[in-house]
Structure 1
Amino acid sequence: MKRLRLFHFDIKTYGNYGDTLLFEAVRELFEGFAGGDAFEVVQSRQLRDPVTPRLVDFINENVDAVVIGGGGLFLSDTNPNQRSGWQWNISLDLLRRIEKPLIIFSVGNNRFIDQADFADPFREHVNLTLEKSVFFGLRNHGSVETIKEYISAPNRDRVKYQPCPTTVSSYLYPDLYQAEIPHERRIAAESIVGKRQARAGFDAGKIYADQVDVLEKLSGEGWRIESVPHARADMGFHDLLTERGVVSSEHVLWGSRDVLYKGIEYFADLPIILGTRGHAQMVPFGMGTIPLSLYVHHKIRYFATDIGHADWAIDPRKDGFQDTLYTTINEVHERQPELRKELADVRQRFFDTSMGNLADIYKSLTGETVTPSFRALTPPERRTAARAYDASMRFDKMEQDNGRLKRELNKARKDLELAAVPRQSMTAGLRRRLRPLRKKLTGS
């Protein structure tokens, strides 16, 4: 069996726990498939950085296929660029030059509620990306259906469902997973309502206050309330919980170089979580936690629907929100043992889908049929993976710094060349504009 060499366009960061774990989980899912004999990720780059001709040459000469994802990459105003119209920062010309098959894996349509449509060249770019792909998998059925609107009719059936690897974390980290946990009144909370939600009519101050009121009431009834901010933007809600004296303990999942697996370990025995981020649903769910969410983004409703509980995506704009939230939390607590078993069955389906998709990908690339199986990392291998993740992230940072320096040097050269233009060949207006630059460059 040939082990295929993969290049991975990812996003490594310690600033958002969902992204911190997600792209590592993608790598571990590929490399654990078929006992570790089918795939190997040999190189990666930040997908938000501009793809260069040199990088395309490296891909064409050194790997068998290219993985893009996962994550909510179909979004125009995070990493805005005119090359693609979405987060993968590659021009149409360079995309055409890639000779190796693409694997779009567990990507999401991340458009916010009432957000403007994608601009050119998104439609052309996403169709070309699909045409060059052996697999085009999106992380929820809502994304599958909404992205099809941009795909040419003959290719729409090629858009497949591929759950986020974080939703099957109990299979990636079986030694950390706990099938049964204490039936206790305990809930963690995370919340961010940002500018894009505000433009759609969500009132952050009111939504935060409503949640805190409910959590404070639960605390008074003997519940343990824990704060689990996933990113810096979550700290406003965390501070509000703290000021009100509601928080029993805090578990900050961002900003630390040793955070990669800390969330997984924390969620292993957590009964319930309340959040607004997509990965504040998916990561806890992957370890057995019951995910309750506020419907402040389409992806929240998409995922809740996929796990059979659209009612767990609660709309904070509706009348009676506090009562609905309070009632839902208590109902879920009462049914915790049966709900954990139900969600374990959903997770099994997600894992089976993932194994089937990886088998299809391997067959498409090699023509060889492989029986799906999986080998999870051992604890020592996880420690090695965490060190490799940190080293790769520092290398990416160095590459970004080098690229920035090159751009600054090129600009300085042009400025120097312009400053050296003979005075007699300049217009009066150009001489006036160059006078400050000459002084800056010559120190006179």
Structure 2
Amino acid sequence: MKCIICNSRNVNALKMVSRDDSEIELIRCKKCGHLWQPIENYMDIYSEGEFSNIARNGNAPSSEKMKQLDNMAFSRFNFYKTYLDKMDNILEVGSYVGSFVNLLKIYGKNVTGLEPDPDYSAYSEKQYGFKQITSLLENFEAKNKYDGIISFHVIEHVKNPHIFLKSVFDLLDNNGKVLFECPSLDIHLNGDINKFIWKPHIHYFSLTSIYYLFSLYFNVLALDIKQDSLYIYAEKNNNKPNFNTLTFTKLKIASRCMYSLNNSKLVPLFGKKITLALLREPYQSLKQAKSITIKKINYFLYVKNEMKNKNKIPVSHISVYTLGNVGDTVLSKCVRDTFNKICSNKLKWNLYSVWSPVDQNLIENINKSEFLLIGGGGLLLPDTNKNSISGWQWACSKENLKNINKKIIVFAIGYNYFKGQEPEELFIDNLRELVTRASFFGVRNNGSCGKVRAIVGKNLENKIVFQPCPTTLIRKLYELPDKNKTRNIAFNIAFDRYERRFGRNMYSVLDQIALAAKKLSNKGYKIYNVAHVDNDLIFGLSLQKHAVPYKTILLGGEFPDKVFDFYNKMDVVIGMRGHAQMIPFGLNCGIITLGSHEKMRWFLEDIDFLDLYIDLDSNIEIICQEIIKRFELFYSEENYYETIQKIKAKQEYLYKITLENVDYIKNIVTIHSG
């Protein structure tokens, strides 16, 4: 038998136990290090969806899986961006549901997705609004050639890698580029080769075997390791094989060292991450570890500071207080500081995450408090922390709710269902129980009040009151530096649940917003792309597509003081997220709202500023024009200060409502100022 990659006869047969505990026959080449299954009767398990049932647990990804795929695609895009910039007309082979194709489209590339599974190929139209081609590469006939072909974790599945690469070669323009990624035999999973071996994977590439294969067809420009995968970037070579014996020898030494170290006692001793740090860029890994450690220490000190005042009145607070979506982090703190300010710092806070399990221990701790405060996070929405216990973010059953014997104060929560989402009976039933048990039920805008009243019915509707979001009151709660005009404009574009935010119009909407940013930049304004969570940074791809100069600011995972400092330096924030509007408003910034959610319009209705609302669902072709029109009307040099004074007046109005509500709450729970 010969090696399927390098044709060497120096091979040996072996058997290994795979990750599903089945025994698999394998062949190992001693020359190039390739490992493969000697399959004579190869079966196509992809075109009929069999692979999806084996490996993907069905013919459609779950919402959690989609989040994972989108996050992975964005991380991969950022890692490979330098290579992708050298391609314009791109084919992705094995594109799955199209997550990576989607990012390339946002970036302005002409890209085609090729996916053999018919269900997953079609899913892209539902999720992103574009069609993919359903085909195996071997059966695909292109009308035109490509200057870039990319493929991630596909080549290990094919019967013959040579035939596969010849097809890739034929589809490429002269000097076309290829970018491939596959699992690394050198750095396999957790130092356990049996977890790495899997029946659907026919091939297991090492640094040497993948170099040998690609150098027969392409000029290899880069070959390296990304986490526990190999990646190779190469250029079409029409002349002769590019194989270099010296390069092959060096890679062989590196491959053996990595394989040996990854199977050494270091892995169980230090763990995989530290072992890989010894293998790849130790200085950078140690620097990252130091940064993470400092962040954890600062977070510990932040939470400890929030829970100080040992001898004060204990209050249990259910919220999203952790570092993540920075809007939730800021809101959670502002809720507490609203009470701290009005109650003269008489309270000691016991913090509980809205996502933590509700058990007997938690109920007992709550019952030791003076009262329970629920607020900080949208809370009334079905997507985040989806559960079959309550139907909303806090998975507290009706039975556990009844076991709470302290006053329950629900403060400034939001009804955050998207258009088209209807509440299920579980949510309705539990919401009615919560309203029944609550001594105060405050909702953060009148639109949400109306929705909640309609759900709970006439017997309970009078308990629902308007309580503005405390983030709109930031300047009333904290002593902050004066705000000066800076000619800084921030854009925040949300990409979570993008299929609901954009529908099928994502690329057109993003182009229009980016064009508006470009026009404002041309007027001399400095543009910032601000992210409340990591994936908000995707808008940077649209800005780059339209050659907009901008700075990137990632606020996700940061502490509230950094958020206040950033927005205090912005003249105007043009945003899609609720808290990318309410936090700037609270700091007396100008705002323009890009409406993809009813809650955005409801907030503007409450402050009588509906003219600042731009609907992203209609007249898409004039979104850029509408943004500039609103900007000139409210924030031009002659109108800016007048608009900011109106914002301050509306803040006073919201603060007055809050003072009245908290005074009412103080009487309920017998807390007095002074």
Does TM, scored on the shorter chain, surpass 0.5? yes
Instruction: Measure, in 2, the Cα distance between the counterparts of 1:91 and 1:362.
Output: 27
- What corresponds to 2:356 in structure 1? 49
Question: Which digits, 9 at most, give the CA deviation of each residue in 1:404-435, with x for residues without a partner?
Answer: xxxxxxxxxxxxxxxxxxxxxxxxxxxxxxxx
Match of 2:380 among 67, 71, 74: 74
| 1:252-331 aligned within 5 A | 252-256=554-558, 259-319=559-619, 320-331=622-633
Instruction: Measure, in 2, the Cα distance between the counterparts of 1:261 and 1:348.
Output: 22
For the pair shown, the structure with the greater C-alpha radius of gyration is 2
Q: 207-216 or 218-227: which moved more?
A: 218-227
Compared CA separation, residues 199 and 249, structure 1 to 2 (3 A) = closer
- What corresponds to 1:112 in structure 2? 418
Task: State, as a whole percentage, how many aligned pairs show the same letter.
Answer: 28
Instruction: Measure, in 2, the Cα distance between the counterparts of 1:72 and 1:177.
Output: 30
Match of 1:147 among 452, 466, 472: 452
Question: Which digits, 9 at most, give the CA deviation of each residue in 1:322-368, with x for residues without a partner?
Answer: 211111112221211011111101111111211211110010122x7
Instruction: Measure, in 2, the Cα distance between the counterparts of 1:209 and 1:162.
Output: 36
Query: Quick check: 1:214 aligned with 2:516?
Result: yes
Instruction: Measure, in 1, the Cα distance between the counterparts of 2:384 and 2:353.
Output: 14
Match of 1:36 among 329, 342, 345: 345
| 1:328-367 aligned within 5 A | 328-334=630-636, 335-366=639-670
Instruction: Measure, in 2, the Cα distance between the counterparts of 1:248 and 1:86.
Output: 38
Answer whether contact 1:134 1:365 (CA < 8 A) is retained.
no
Answer whether contact 2:487 2:570 (CA < 8 A) is retained.
no
Instruction: Measure, in 1, the Cα distance between the counterparts of 2:417 and 2:389.
Output: 18
Query: Quick check: 1:95 aligned with 2:401?
Result: yes
Q: 3-12 or 331-340: which moved more?
A: 3-12
Instruction: Measure, in 2, the Cα distance between the counterparts of 1:228 and 1:310.
Output: 23
Instruction: Measure, in 2, the Cα distance between the counterparts of 1:177 and 1:17.
Output: 23
Answer whether contact 1:290 1:340 (CA < 8 A) is retained.
yes
Secondary structure of the corresponding residue to residue 392 of structure 2: coil
2:611 maps to a residue whose letter is D
Q: Normalised by the size of structure 1, how large is the TM-score?
A: 0.77
Structure with greater proportional strand content: 2
Number of equivalent positions: 360
Instruction: Measure, in 2, the Cα distance between the counterparts of 1:214 and 1:200.
Output: 17
1:142, distance to aligned residue in structure 2 (A): 0.6
Match of 1:159 among 464, 467, 480: 464
Answer whether contact 1:193 1:276 (CA < 8 A) is retained.
no
Answer whether contact 1:275 1:292 (CA < 8 A) is retained.
yes
Answer whether contact 1:192 1:276 (CA < 8 A) is retained.
yes
Q: Normalised by the size of structure 2, how large is the TM-score?
A: 0.51
1:186, distance to aligned residue in structure 2 (A): 3.2
Compared CA separation, residues 199 and 261, structure 1 to 2 (3 A) = closer
Compared CA separation, residues 72 and 336, structure 1 to 2 (3 A) = same
Match of 2:529 among 227, 248, 251: 227
CA RMSD, Structure 1 to Structure 2 (Å) = 2.0
Gaps in structure 2 of 5+ consecutive residues:
1-310
- What corresponds to 1:398 in structure 2? none
Compared CA separation, residues 82 and 142, structure 1 to 2 (3 A) = same
Instruction: Measure, in 2, the Cα distance between the counterparts of 1:263 and 1:203.
Output: 30
Runs of 4+ in 1 over 6 A off after TM superposition: none
Match of 1:192 among 472, 494, 499: 494
2:358 maps to a residue whose letter is V
1:197, distance to aligned residue in structure 2 (A): 4.2
Secondary structure of the corresponding residue to residue 344 of structure 2: helix
Secondary structure of the corresponding residue to residue 439 of structure 2: strand
Instruction: Measure, in 2, the Cα distance between the counterparts of 1:250 and 1:360.
Output: 43
Answer whether contact 1:288 1:340 (CA < 8 A) is retained.
yes
Instruction: Measure, in 1, the Cα distance between the counterparts of 2:531 and 2:663.
Output: 36
Instruction: Measure, in 2, the Cα distance between the counterparts of 1:149 and 1:248.
Output: 44
Instruction: Measure, in 2, the Cα distance between the counterparts of 1:199 and 1:268.
Output: 27
Compared CA separation, residues 17 and 242, structure 1 to 2 (3 A) = farther
Q: 154-163 or 274-283: which moved more?
A: 154-163
Query: Quick check: 1:204 aligned with 2:506?
Result: yes
- What corresponds to 2:440 in structure 1? 135
Answer whether contact 2:501 2:597 (CA < 8 A) is retained.
no
Question: Which digits, 9 at most, give the CA deviation of each residue in 1:85-130, with x for residues without a partner?
Answer: 1111111111111111111011000001112x11132222111111
Query: Quick check: 1:25 aligned with 2:334?
Result: yes
